[in-house]
Structure 1
């Protein structure tokens, strides 16, 4: 609705008239003049409003259209900026981390709510002013400055806050100040007091655990020594007792003592090994060794136990593997013995086989080769639940196993850790009631192959061998070894062997080597060999008979039946190749050397009786060592501690008594321990007249760890013999030194 332009003026005149009338009527009653006064004010205000509205309309009509639109846009932008600022502020105030900015003068230009709450401050009290934290201790890093060369840093401060002393971690960086005001330092801090406290508790717990581990290590070392010392007496005396004349009953008891002591020692060694692995102190040596000899030694050690149960036991090593590898032979043998002993323990019929060959999985280690050791048995097998906990410490597949067979349940767990230390592992496949197959994969470095291996063809080319016996595991293992050497091999049960010979002749490919089990007897075995020779008259058919250790009495009958050679189980593949006439000339001597030579008498390796200085404080162990020395044809001079050993050497050097060819030195002795005594003795001989050579000093100790042996050798000992030792162990040391070294018997005569 539009009004006449004169209306505001009329209203203004009416209003003024009403006010004048009100003044005239002022002496009148109050109500009348108030009414006119109110009307005057109302008319005046109305006229003013209408005048302003008219002015606004006029301005709107007279302004250009774009300017009006820009004003609306500016208002809209201001509203959005205000909204974004509120949202931004709410976001920063909602942060748990303290956020603050400071300019070049270190004055705070911004602080969020978390910062203000952390230090119980108000924004108007801190903004625009410097704010310094009250530190409980100096920080390792100074706060970032605008002029700093770095643009980012992290520091931790221990400062007083509204909650007391707290650890605060600050993330600081240089940022652009608003409105082009240069640079500011923005700091984002978070309270890490609880985290730091947890870290300190964790570090303290770690230190305590490490201290406990060190204490446990010292305890185990001490216990190892304390246990092995009496064990040395038990095993040694049992060994001496077994060498004496006994009644059958006494022999049974002596063997029981010996076997029980060895079982106890094996359990102790197992626990000590596990403790070392658990403490992360397992160390592997890297020395060249023959893989086949390692496997052979483990198999032959357990073969008597397997044969006593009527089990087959066979092994083979692929010729595709290097003859020598770098590694820890003792630990590889330990894995083998654990796997084999379990296989024999849980197998009552059938047998156990070991096959060693290249790993099926490619080896990614440069310069190394993957080796797979497969141990297969026909035993009781394992259920899936048993397999899942098989490698857990102190676990066995069945509670009945512990009651029947004993054991710690550590063997497989230790073997797995050893295999992992050799960059491999152990896998198992099993069927309950049918048997198990364990595969240990190891990564070892091969020793460079001999140059004369190159360019030589298969050694068994043109030769055909028939394995005619009823032991499938042994037959398969020997067949694998022969086939790997390029020998054409057939495997068959003895009952079907005659038909196979006929079929081979019909094909024009008769056999010229025959391997038969001696269990068939000289008559049946000799008859089959005779038929093979009759069918192949143009070749000299060689016959080999396989026998157990206890069957040697009938060997003459087999020779009469026409057999060329015999092999005692477990059969060594290299020996089989030798007796089949399939070894190269250079390999024949190697196989012969591999057979252990037994001296005709204990002192056959040296020319005359030798004299040994024995320093041992334990009376039983001293008695054992003296008796073994006497049986080896050695004289002995016994003392009870290191000080007496030094005194004895001084007497020798003064010419008061005859010299000695060897010193057996116990390590832990009263008054003067073995290491100190050895050092003193070496110094005495070094200062003696020229030509007085020091005898070798052999450490006798119950500390059986590898690092102990190394420590003793570095301290000046010449050799090492771990307790418990038996007659064969001490004999080996004597042969090692007396066969290769001249004596010192007359050095101070």
Structure 2
């Protein structure tokens, strides 16, 4: 039970001189205080109802006992009749107030109940009941009825009357203060409930957002797989057709188709990268790198495109020479991605002139260095009012730019987010019709300890083969390859590409068939899909690794599941390498060459 509020504290002024009546009054006052205490803090309804019922029931019991005493003393005297009527009126008023709970605001009901009970009970006990008790005590001493009434009236006048008025004034003030307390408690509880409801709503919103993020990630992963699977068929057929004798018109159409498929794949990768960044699932690698090698790799990737457009591709590293060969630590792949985004845009929007890649040192600390990279072009430039929009999602400088040059509108925002993840920033300056400068900064660690090798075998880098296909035909003609692929078209394309370099190719339509064939025949290498009916590629790999004769057979994932988590799952299952779909034939041949050479060695 909650602590009671002593709005009606008992004192000697309430005593009537009749022990039975006083004992019942004490119990009545205790129940009143308990009820008022629960009303003011708005206790739970069942507990409140219990106390209310107990007060009503006890009041009726007390009134009945009291009426018997008065009846015995006064008989049918008007004093006894009037007192009984007051008792009945009290019960009726309590029931009326209690019935208002469903039709009036709770705080108003509480105020009405508190005001009525405190005033009525105080007045009834210290005035009406004491008057009746004084008369009864006089009658018990042998005086007549009229004299007993006179004695009672005399006792209730003068100083006693003044005391009664003072006590009633005090209890009226107590009742008012209790009402004010009730209002304050009610306001506080409403505020607390509002805060709790707001917190609950925030939690619901957070849970909904997390569920939406998970659903989005699952959807993107599913869509990635569903798009990459047919894309693999498209790029594979393009590669097979490219190997045939074609007319100039056919070759030109095929080239256009290849460019369109590469553009579509680039957009898919941008959307997936953006989704991982937004879901905070993009993790940076910490690997040893050298700026010279990083820049050389980036330039090598775009110099053919620059040459084809007749653009001068320049590299300015004069301001970073002291660090060109330094051992630094960071995510080389993501730095390359950011620079390629800039260089790709520069080459796209520069019809003539040059594109320059610059590198400099913004900050050289004891344990880290902040590098600044800039891509400067002599292209079409950007109007000042359009610059702020460039690093927003799905935004390009103008609608005309989108229609003319295409693109997802995600490359720059991804670059900025990558720079921020690497402790730097990104931005741009431009002049319409003159050219643009896009820059980013990244923080790299100095002299970092060597990164532990991954928990898998690694194939040695192949010698510098300008033509991995020719090297495969020359050195590994007849080598056996098991292609595990449930998509019939993709399986046929893989077989055609591999047989074209003189490899002996077998196929399995799912994981169960792959395990059976691997156990029955020795293969030099296995290309394993991930998602397949009956048994997926991960489980198939685990079972193949349990076969003693196959514990060292290279198994390469060849899958449309292109997320980093998928790569990790493949390696943990026992695979040795990862080849995402749509498969780049040159990459596949280079990878096959490395693993076949490693196995031969």
* Cα distance, 1:611 vs structure 2: 0.5
Query: What is the aligned partner in structure 2 of residue 150 from structure 1?
Result: none
- Report the 3-state secondary structure (helix = DSSP H, G, I; strand = E; otherwise coil) of the residue aligned with 1:601: helix
Determine the C-alpha separation between the residues in 2 that align with 1:164 and 1:626. Answer: 85
Query: What is the aligned partner in structure 1 of residue 535 from structure 2?
Result: 672
Q: Per residue, is there more helix in 1 or in 2?
A: 2
Determine the C-alpha separation between the residues in 1 that align with 2:406 and 2:468. Answer: 38
Task: Give RMSD over aligned pairs.
Answer: 3.2
Query: What is the aligned partner in structure 2 of residue 347 from structure 1?
Result: 350
Measured against aligned partners, the alpha-carbon deviations of 1:95-117 in whole angstroms (never above 9, x if no partner) come to: xxxxxxx9xx98669xxxxxxxx
Say yes or no: does 1:162 pair with 2:107.
yes
Query: What is the aligned partner in structure 1 of residue 339 from structure 2?
Result: 336
Q: Per residue, is there more strand in 1 or in 2?
A: 1
Change (3 A) 1:202 1:439: same
Change (3 A) 1:433 1:716: same
Counterpart selection for 1:661 from 500, 516, 524: 524
* Structure-2-length-normalised TM-score: 0.65
Say yes or no: does 1:627 pair with 2:496.
yes
- Report the 3-state secondary structure (helix = DSSP H, G, I; strand = E; otherwise coil) of the residue aligned with 1:675: helix
Measured against aligned partners, the alpha-carbon deviations of 1:118-152 in whole angstroms (never above 9, x if no partner) come to: xxxxxxx879x977845449xxxxxxxxxxxxxxx
Determine the C-alpha separation between the residues in 2 that align with 1:358 and 1:606. Answer: 46
- Asked if the contact 1:599/1:605 (under 8 Å) is kept, the reply is no
Measured against aligned partners, the alpha-carbon deviations of 1:553-607 in whole angstroms (never above 9, x if no partner) come to: xxxxxxxxxxxxxxxxxxxxxxxxxxxxxxxxxxxxxxxx997654582326846
Determine the C-alpha separation between the residues in 1 that align with 2:596 and 2:108. Answer: 80
Query: What is the aligned partner in structure 2 of residue 320 from structure 1?
Result: 322
* Cα distance, 1:417 vs structure 2: 0.6
Query: What is the aligned partner in structure 1 of residue 471 from structure 2?
Result: 602
- Asked if the contact 1:702/1:724 (under 8 Å) is kept, the reply is yes
Query: What is the aligned partner in structure 2 of residue 261 from structure 1?
Result: 261
Measured against aligned partners, the alpha-carbon deviations of 1:342-392 in whole angstroms (never above 9, x if no partner) come to: 111221221110011212xx367x621111101111112222211111111
* Cα distance, 1:446 vs structure 2: 3.1
Q: Equivalences for 1:488-567 in 2 at 5 Å?
A: none
Measured against aligned partners, the alpha-carbon deviations of 1:505-536 in whole angstroms (never above 9, x if no partner) come to: xxxxxxxxxxxxxxxxxxxxxxxxxxxxxxxx
Determine the C-alpha separation between the residues in 1 that align with 2:428 and 2:516. Answer: 59
- Report the 3-state secondary structure (helix = DSSP H, G, I; strand = E; otherwise coil) of the residue aligned with 2:495: helix
Measured against aligned partners, the alpha-carbon deviations of 1:649-708 in whole angstroms (never above 9, x if no partner) come to: 2323xxxxxx1111111111111111111111111x13x6xxx65412111111111121
- Report the 3-state secondary structure (helix = DSSP H, G, I; strand = E; otherwise coil) of the residue aligned with 1:444: strand
Structure 2: any 5+ residue segments left out of the alignment? 8-31, 46-104, 111-183, 451-461
Determine the C-alpha separation between the residues in 1 that align with 2:219 and 2:361. Answer: 42
* Structure-1-length-normalised TM-score: 0.53
- Report the 3-state secondary structure (helix = DSSP H, G, I; strand = E; otherwise coil) of the residue aligned with 2:471: coil
Query: What is the aligned partner in structure 2 of residue 616 from structure 1?
Result: 485
- Asked if the contact 2:303/2:313 (under 8 Å) is kept, the reply is yes
Determine the C-alpha separation between the residues in 2 that align with 1:423 and 1:702. Answer: 32
Determine the C-alpha separation between the residues in 2 that align with 1:664 and 1:374. Answer: 40
Q: Equivalences for 1:50-65 in 2 at 5 Å?
A: none
Determine the C-alpha separation between the residues in 2 that align with 1:393 and 1:416. Answer: 11
Change (3 A) 1:398 1:607: closer
Counterpart selection for 1:727 from 585, 598, 601: 585
Change (3 A) 1:136 1:299: farther
* Cα distance, 1:249 vs structure 2: 1.6
Change (3 A) 1:239 1:194: same
Counterpart selection for 1:358 from 358, 361, 364: 361
Determine the C-alpha separation between the residues in 1 that align with 2:412 and 2:382. Answer: 14
Determine the C-alpha separation between the residues in 2 that align with 1:391 and 1:108. Answer: 67
Determine the C-alpha separation between the residues in 2 that align with 1:607 and 1:271. Answer: 39
Change (3 A) 1:439 1:405: same
Change (3 A) 1:367 1:249: same
* Cα distance, 1:409 vs structure 2: 1.1
Query: What is the aligned partner in structure 2 of residue 180 from structure 1?
Result: none
Change (3 A) 1:693 1:224: closer
- Asked if the contact 1:363/1:443 (under 8 Å) is kept, the reply is no
- Asked if the contact 1:372/1:442 (under 8 Å) is kept, the reply is yes
Query: What is the aligned partner in structure 1 of residue 569 from structure 2?
Result: 711
Structure 1: any 5+ residue segments left out of the alignment? 1-101, 110-124, 138-159, 166-186, 451-592, 653-658, 744-749
Say yes or no: does 1:741 pair with 2:599.
yes
Change (3 A) 1:267 1:694: same
- Asked if the contact 1:605/1:739 (under 8 Å) is kept, the reply is no
- Report the 3-state secondary structure (helix = DSSP H, G, I; strand = E; otherwise coil) of the residue aligned with 1:354: strand
* Cα distance, 1:329 vs structure 2: 1.8
- Report the 3-state secondary structure (helix = DSSP H, G, I; strand = E; otherwise coil) of the residue aligned with 2:545: helix
Query: What is the aligned partner in structure 2 of residue 371 from structure 1?
Result: 371
Determine the C-alpha separation between the residues in 2 that align with 1:733 and 1:226. Answer: 24
- Asked if the contact 2:529/2:558 (under 8 Å) is kept, the reply is yes
Change (3 A) 1:621 1:594: closer
* Cα distance, 1:440 vs structure 2: 0.6
Q: Equivalences for 1:428-439 in 2 at 5 Å?
A: 428-439=428-439
Determine the C-alpha separation between the residues in 2 that align with 1:597 and 1:345. Answer: 28
